[in-house]
Amino acid sequence: MATPISTSTYNQLNSAIQDILKSGVLPVMTIYTDAAATNIVVDAHGNIENRRVQSVSFTESYKDENGNPTEPFVTINFTDGINFIDTFKTIDNVDDHWFTLSTIPVPYTKFGSN
């Protein structure tokens, strides 16, 4: 079972990512279009499956340049570990997305010539 992505579940998502990072591994996320976690979201880079999370944030509702209220949304940035890959945005009351989190080890990096 997957967890909904929305501004009301943002604190849960953020805490889970912080807990993963504190445990010494890296968070990876899969995003779905259904709560049963059977349909993976596809973007320009392919399936959003086990992608490394760079950051998560949310934006509350605000009035746009024309004075119209906007819906709040959650933004998730993904990385390949070196470069920023893409941003995924899901809008409350417009989009329905769910997520699962898992972990990967921190890649070994050797500096210098020895």
Residue 110 maps to a domain: no
Domain count, the chain: 1
pLDDT for 24-81, tens place per residue? 999 999 999 999 999 999 999 999 999 999 999 999 999 999 999 999 999 999 998 8
Distance CA(58)–CA(6), nearest Å, equals 8
Give 89-110 pLDDT, tens digit per residue. 999 999 999 999 999 999 887 7
- Bridge-based pairing of strands 98-105 and 84-91 is unpaired
The pair of structure tokens assigned to 92 is 């409350």
At residue 1, does pLDDT exceed 90? Answer: no
**8 vs 83, residue with greater confidence:** 8
The β-bridge relationship of strands 25-32 and 98-105 is antiparallel
Phi-psi region of 81 (alpha: psi -120 to 50; beta: other; left: phi over 0): left
Residue 95 included in any domain: yes
| pTM for this entry | 0.89
Q: Residue 80's pLDDT is what?
A: 87
Considering only residues 73 and 85, tell me which one the structure prediction assigns the higher pLDDT: 73
Q: How confident is the model at residue 6 (pLDDT cuts 50, 70, 90)?
A: very high
CA dihedral over 37, 49, 73, 20, signed as positive or negative: positive
Strands in 98-105's sheet, in edge-to-edge order, are 3-4, 98-105, 25-32, 51-59, 73-79, 84-91
Domain membership of residue 114 (yes or no) is: no
Separation between Cα atoms, residue 88 and residue 102, nearest integer Å = 18
SS3 content of the chain, % helix, strand, coil (to 5): 10, 45, 45
Range of the structural domain that residue 87 is part of = 3-105
In this structure, is residue 111 part of a structural domain? Answer: no
Question: In the beta sheet, which residues pair with residue 103?
Answer: 27
